Amino acid sequence: MAHIILASSSPRRQELLSQLGLVFDVVSPAIDETVQDAETVIDYVERLAREKAHAVLTQFPDAIVIAADTSLSFAGKILGKPESKQHAFEMWSQLSGQWHDVFSGVCVASLTRTCSTVVRTQVELQTLSYAEMEKYWATGEPMGKAGGYAIQGIAARYIPQIRGSYSNVVGLPLHETVQLLERVKA
């Protein structure tokens, strides 16, 4: 059986991958996550997933590497992780009462084959009051999360519905990851 490495330090991705019953190691690569000029969210998340996978593959050439990157898109803009309380409130104000898209780029790579895809899920965020934003910020949950929320956590109370993959919104679309893994192993 091939040695599998998850190229992510995200506890959420580790939990999701563990649900599949896979045995894997974790190596978190350091890559530049700056959005390039005129880069779409689809191109951005796929590029980062591929860069993460290949960065780890250069260290462990006999492994199969699984990498992912997740970002939100609203009104044509990429919304990443909040850099501050003010930044989180700005994002939530934009998303409040609206649908937005969550995109994850997933890449599975070995020395002989690289496969990647991008998965889109639509998420509705209820209209948030300033008091709700304050209360949610105080939980500490928003930091380090794309869009400043964790659907698998307290933020679930603010999300009436989604269209698409739940695990994608958490950070790793499992169905598609398994498909890519099978293609790379073949």
102: CATH: 3.90.950.10
pLDDT surpasses 90 at 114: yes
Q: What is the pLDDT of residue 135?
A: 96
- Mean pLDDT (the chain) is 95
Q: What is the pLDDT of residue 1?
A: 61
Per-residue pLDDT reduced to its tens digit, 42-81: 999 999 999 999 999 999 999 999 999 999 999 989 998 8
DSSP H stretches of helix in 11-170: 11-19, 41-59, 85-95, 130-138, 166-170
Which of 25, 32, 37, 69 is catalytic? The answer is: 69
43 catalytic, yes or no?
no
Full residue range of the structural domain in which residue 133 is found:
4-185
Specify the number of domains making up the chain.
Answer: 1
Say how many CA atoms lie within 13 Å of 161 toward its Cβ.
3
